[in-house]
A and B are shown apart, each in its own frame.
Chain A
Amino acid sequence: MKPGYKQVKRMTTFMRLNHWVVAFSMVAAVITGLYIGHPYYQSFIADPAVGKYVMAWNRWIHFMIAIIFDVSSIVIAYLYFFSRFEKPYKKLIPNKQNIEEFGAVVINLLTLNRKKDFDSTHADSFNTVFFLLFHLMLAWMLLTGLQLYVHGLASGESSIGAWWPWMLHVATDWTIPVSNMLIGSASPTPSIMDVRISHHITMWFILAWIVFHIYYQVWRTIFWKEGDIGIVVSGTKYVKEEA
């Protein structure tokens, strides 16, 4: 360790594990999701249909990932309030301290690190809000995705019982009119296609989010010189010891 620096813990083992599960799942979800939206490669035409469930496998992977996301999201939502490490909700309350910190981090980014008036040993308000944005988009993907999925359970039955489609309808039917609003549709009657359009557009917003996320972590690492990029691997970073 460089003299004059101390090691601080920033992510627990679970948080790091979750990060990588989500990261790889996201890549797979985008690859399979784009195929479902527009099948961009062909299956071998000479093989009989029975031997090559290409679309079926793409959908299977997409749905399995959705379940991983579901579970991860429920845990993350819980940790927002009950984490024994850092409770993110405390950084989201719009009090004076958080707003000032949020502003200070934005200024740090805009002044290209000329000004850095905040404590970077813990999660800052700006990054927490940025992550909240991601979690909200992910939650929206899950809800719209489940809405699209329940269309296939029109009989009201499922392999695990009738409660499942019933619950999905209760939990996600509201995404139809909300999608209609989000995509700015002129039609007075919301349509289930609105959900599909919104689900697809949100993927692009998530991709844009990821691009900025990676850039920002690399930028911090280079300019802050605190080894931020290592957090997601080792769980720790290094900050200058106060003299």
Chain B
Amino acid sequence: MADRIEGVKKLFTSKSARVETNRGDAYYEKLFQKCQARIEELKTQQPINNRLEISDVLENHGIERRDFLKWASAVTGMLMLPASFTPLVADAALLMNRAPVIWLELQDCAGNSEALLRSDGPKIDEIVLDIISLEFHETLQAASGHQAEKQLEEAIEHFKDKYLLFVEGSIPMADDGIYGTIGASGETFYDHLMRVSKHAAAIVAVGSCATFGGVPAASPNPTGAVGVMDVIKGKPLINIPACPANPANMVGVIIHYILTGQVPELDSLLRPKFAFGYRIHDNCERRAHFDAGEFVEEWGDEGAKNNFCLYKVGCKGPMTFNNCSIIRYNEGVNWPVGVGRGCIGCSEPDFWDKYAYERPMADANIKAPTGGVEKTVDEFGLGLLTAAGIGIGIHAAASSLAGNKEEVGE
């Protein structure tokens, strides 16, 4: 209850999803100088552990500087900055190795790490993420057990209050958190997260599990899984939901941090507005078919062949805030709606229970407030009408049998 009241307060005081993109020349002039000063300062610092230079890595992957600059201008656009910021963004990308990052993996499928690596033909987003100074990532690093533990302690000590903490995966809270333990000492995920987050400069929850509990938190949620924001209070926290989170948005957040030293503007669910400030639906390539009432009725039908709207096979684009209809995945190659498979609302809270079904919400089984019975809203409604009808029928029958008082009296 207290949480919910807190939620109401938060919603009341939060600004709308709006991102002000035209704040005037004076504002951007000032911001430019501020970012420039910060970049200059970072340039004087040495790269931390990762000795890779992005220019070398890009060259090794056969990517020309021209492509890199094109990418930089795209990121500038994504961050809703004027084109004049492009050189700064390019510089910031080169300086990614100045930002120490500790990456924790908790209860999840490693899909976000996978998205970040994209080992098959990495594109610039993924390469740039390779450049960050990843101080600890148990899934990727060679060290394990006590060695890994030691490395983590060293990283925390060395970059105290300076490192960015990326968290992937939910936190199981049921039965004192025994459903997820890590390391040689069998520390619970909760304790592990609390310990590592204590000295983080900021926390970035990556993917739906870390943000809202995701799939592990789906009904009946046996492990009592929750997101990072449900357990950590009083720290700068950025949520980058989606399943998996788009590497472009991770890059956007880190570049924003490098450019300004601050977290980007967030919405009421702590998602960066540059990425989650608009609906999938409004930028969808199939939107015209929605308005026209042209829907795919079943997989592989004539509508599907004609790229009709996927609303009736469960697309949740109209209720989902994310930028995948614009930036897509894998460096703009494609995205779910593009391949003819509706959006499952993976960047929204409780997506597995409330969004990810292959039919419109009106036809989906929703858990009744009592818990057990799952019914569609319409089944429930028809039941309600039937109950009302039966009640009325009984009353009407009784009334007509009993006759009118006055008739009886006369």
Q: Which residue of B lies closest to A223 (CB)?
A: B404
Within 8 A of A (CB), among B378-410: 378, 380-382, 384-385, 387-389, 392, 395-396, 398-399, 402, 404-406
A201 close to B380 (CB less than 8 A): yes
B282 close to A152 (CB less than 8 A): yes
- Report B242 CB to chain A, min CB distance, Å: 15
**Distance A180 CA – B404 CA, assembled complex (angstroms):** 47
Is B166 close to A, CB under 8 A?
no
A151 close to B19 (CB less than 8 A): no
A207 close to B385 (CB less than 8 A): yes
B268 close to A173 (CB less than 8 A): yes
Q: Which of A49, A212, A223 contacts B392 (CB 8 A)?
A: A212
B381 close to A201 (CB less than 8 A): yes
> For the complex, would chain B's binding face be called helix, strand, loop or mixed by DSSP majority?
helix
Is B311 close to A, CB under 8 A?
yes
Is B226 close to A, CB under 8 A?
yes
- Determine the chain A residues whose CB is within 8 A of the CB of B382 once the complex forms: 204
Is A159 close to B, CB under 8 A?
no
A192 close to B293 (CB less than 8 A): no
Within 8 A of A (CB), among B181-224: 212-213, 217, 219, 221
* CB 8 Å contact bits of B345-367 with A (1 = contact, 0 = none): 10011110111000011110011
- Report A140 CB to chain B, min CB distance, Å: 15
Given A152-B279, A190-B7, A193-B319, the answer on whether A208 and B388 have CB atoms closer than 8 Å is yes
Given A177-B8, A205-B384, the answer on whether A37 and B362 have CB atoms closer than 8 Å is yes
B399 close to A219 (CB less than 8 A): yes
- Report A137 CB to chain B, min CB distance, Å: 13
* CB 8 Å contact bits of A214-234 with B (1 = contact, 0 = none): 010001001101000000000
Interface residues in B, total, Cβ within 8 A: 84
A39 close to B293 (CB less than 8 A): yes
Is A131 close to B, CB under 8 A?
no
Given A113-B404, A184-B370, the answer on whether A189 and B269 have CB atoms closer than 8 Å is yes
Q: Which of B213, B303, B349 contacts A190 (CB 8 A)?
A: B349
Is A200 close to B, CB under 8 A?
yes
Is A84 close to B, CB under 8 A?
no
Given A49-B289, A113-B399, A212-B388, the answer on whether A181 and B4 have CB atoms closer than 8 Å is yes
- Determine the chain A residues whose CB is within 8 A of the CB of B291 once the complex forms: 49, 53, 55-56
B312 close to A200 (CB less than 8 A): no
A173 close to B405 (CB less than 8 A): no
Q: Which residue of A lies closest to B361 (CB)?
A: A196
Q: Which of B226, B292, B377, B381 contacts A43 (CB 8 A)?
A: B292
B385 close to A54 (CB less than 8 A): no
Given A181-B4, A186-B367, A211-B388, the answer on whether A52 and B302 have CB atoms closer than 8 Å is no
B398 close to A189 (CB less than 8 A): no
**Distance A114 CA – B406 CA, assembled complex (angstroms):** 9
A39 close to B312 (CB less than 8 A): yes
B227 close to A189 (CB less than 8 A): yes
- Determine the chain B residues whose CB is within 8 A of the CB of A200 once the complex forms: 361-362, 377-378, 381
B292 close to A196 (CB less than 8 A): no
B368 close to A49 (CB less than 8 A): no
Is B109 close to A, CB under 8 A?
no
Is B150 close to A, CB under 8 A?
no
- Determine the chain A residues whose CB is within 8 A of the CB of B288 once the complex forms: 49-50
- Determine the chain A residues whose CB is within 8 A of the CB of B398 once the complex forms: 112
Within 8 A of B (CB), among A106-144: 109, 112-114, 116
- Determine the chain A residues whose CB is within 8 A of the CB of B392 once the complex forms: 211-212, 215
B349 close to A42 (CB less than 8 A): no
Between A54, A154, A176, the greatest number of chain B beta carbons within 10 A of the residue's beta carbon is seen for: A154
Q: Which of A155, A207, A215 contacts B18 (CB 8 A)?
A: A155
A42 close to B12 (CB less than 8 A): no
Within 8 A of B (CB), among A161-196: 162, 165-166, 169-170, 173-174, 176-178, 180-181, 183-194, 196
**Distance A139 CA – B152 CA, assembled complex (angstroms):** 55
Given A42-B295, A55-B291, the answer on whether A193 and B354 have CB atoms closer than 8 Å is yes
* CB 8 Å contact bits of B263-294 with A (1 = contact, 0 = none): 00000110000000111011000001111111
B396 close to A174 (CB less than 8 A): no
Within 8 A of B (CB), among A25-43: 34, 37-39, 42-43
* CB 8 Å contact bits of A50-70 with B (1 = contact, 0 = none): 101111101000000000000
- Determine the chain A residues whose CB is within 8 A of the CB of B354 once the complex forms: 185, 187, 191, 193-194, 197
Between B303, B348, B377, the greatest number of chain A beta carbons within 10 A of the residue's beta carbon is seen for: B377
A174 close to B302 (CB less than 8 A): no
**Distance A183 CA – B24 CA, assembled complex (angstroms):** 44
Q: Which of A53, A181, A193, A219 contacts B355 (CB 8 A)?
A: A193
B18 close to A165 (CB less than 8 A): yes
Sampled A-B contacts (7; CB under 8 Å): A109-B395, A154-B17, A177-B7, A185-B350, A190-B7, A191-B349, A194-B354
Task: Please name the 7 residue pairs, one residue from A and one from B, whose CB atoms are nearest each other, closest first.
Answer: A184-B369, A156-B18, A54-B293, A204-B381, A37-B362, A189-B349, A49-B292
- Apart from A189-B350, A191-B354: 16 A-B pairs, beta carbons within 8 A: A37-B360, A42-B295, A45-B302, A52-B292, A53-B292, A54-B292, A152-B281, A154-B277, A154-B278, A154-B282, A162-B18, A170-B12, A200-B378, A211-B392, A215-B392, A222-B399
A residues with CB within 8 A of B: 34, 37-39, 42-43, 45, 49-50, 52-56, 58, 109, 112-114, 116, 150-152, 154-156, 162, 165-166, 169-170, 173-174, 176-178, 180-181, 183-194, 196-197, 200-201, 203-205, 207-208, 211-212, 215, 219, 222-223, 225
B residues with CB within 8 A of A: 3-4, 7-8, 11-12, 14-20, 212-213, 217, 219, 221, 226-227, 229-230, 268-269, 277-279, 281-282, 288-295, 297, 302-303, 306, 311-312, 316, 318-319, 321, 345, 348-351, 353-355, 360-363, 366-371, 377-378, 380-382, 384-385, 387-389, 392, 395-396, 398-399, 402, 404-406
